[in-house]
Amino acid sequence: MAEAQRLDFGIFADSDIVVQPLMGNETLDFNTKQNPIIPGDMVSIELTENDESALAIFEITAARDFDIDVEVVPQNAGSLILVDDSSESIDFTLKWAFSNQASPNTSHAISVAQNNVVPQGISFATFPVLRRSIGSNGPPGPPPAPLDGDSPNRETAVVYLFVYGTINVDESAAVGLYSDTINIHVSYSGGDLP
């Protein structure tokens, strides 16, 4: 029987971007989905979960009129490592999505994020902090020009970032705690730092 499978997060962001986990959603713990997990099991945490507590959810607060670059990278791509023996691992598939439509709560943000799932294997995406609306008279206008001066007075918006995935425990997997760290890097896109 595998003991536990858990991913922690390292968060890195530009100085006026705030990235914080939602309380209770700061780890991706497969044992919240199924306990115990035994060799031969495949356990998935999906964006469509009825129980949001299984997802790792982060709020990114940034200047609303700018685009951001987001990178979500596991330290050990494709696997979780046994804490007591780094030669042992189990397969892990990382998935992530975002909601940038000023969602009033996480339930709404999850429904929006289902249209913003980053394809598997892609660790980097650029998107506006607040999705620009198309309106009835054509495409949205261009993004704003960089602003001068300090950013504390700029309007901000929140982007929800959802991290989830699947583990596949091999029949011969050793019992124990399997873990990894997923690093999340967020910065303003194109060097247009506010």
Q: Tell me which amino acid residue 182 is.
A: I
Phi, then psi, of 112 in degrees rounded to 5:
-70, -40
- Separation of alpha carbons 116 and 186, rounded Å: 17
CB atoms within 10 A of CB 163: 24
Over the stretch 137-183, which tens digit does the pLDDT of each residue have?
Answer: 555 556 555 554 455 667 899 999 999 999 999 999 999 999 999 99
- Separation of alpha carbons 32 and 55, rounded Å: 10
Q: Is 86 left (phi over 0), alpha (psi -120 to 50) or beta?
A: alpha
Residue 140, pLDDT score? 55
- Separation of alpha carbons 48 and 134, rounded Å: 27
User: 64: part of which helix (H) or strand (E)?
Assistant: none
Residues of the chain with pLDDT under 50: 1-3, 136, 148-149, 192-194
* Average confidence score pLDDT of the chain: 86
CB 45 within 8 A of CB 83: no
Question: Three-class SS string for 141-189?
Answer: CCCCCCCCCCCCCCCEEEEEEEEEEEEECCCCCCCCEEEEEEEEEEEEH
Tokens read off for 24: 């209770």
- Separation of alpha carbons 65 and 129, rounded Å: 7
Residue 21, pLDDT score? 94
Give Cβ neighbours of residue 59 (< 8 Å, ≥ 6 apart): 18, 19, 20, 21, 22, 158, 159, 160, 161
Residue 142, pLDDT score? 60
Residue 1, pLDDT score? 36
